[in-house]
Amino acid sequence: EPVFGIIKSVLGFRQFSLRGLNRVSGEWTLVCLAWNLKRMAVLRPTSARKA
């Protein structure tokens, strides 16, 4: 999947810092949230940037 490669290269996320399935799941959720916020900032209309 391209998004996993992008997360590795752009965000620099190569390994999990925490141990345990619940903690890793939470960490992955944060990484995905960061990626989605970054994409939303790039894709938002130009009129919203001026305001």
Task: Give the helix ranges, DSSP H, for the chain.
Answer: 2-10, 21-43, 46-50
Q: Which pLDDT tens digit goes with each residue over 1-51?
A: 888 898 999 889 999 999 999 999 999 999 999 999 999 999 987 765 665
Which amino acid appears at position 42 of this protein?
V
* C-alpha span between 8 and 37 (Å, rounded): 16
pLDDT confidence of residue 49: 60
Look up the pTM and report it: 0.74
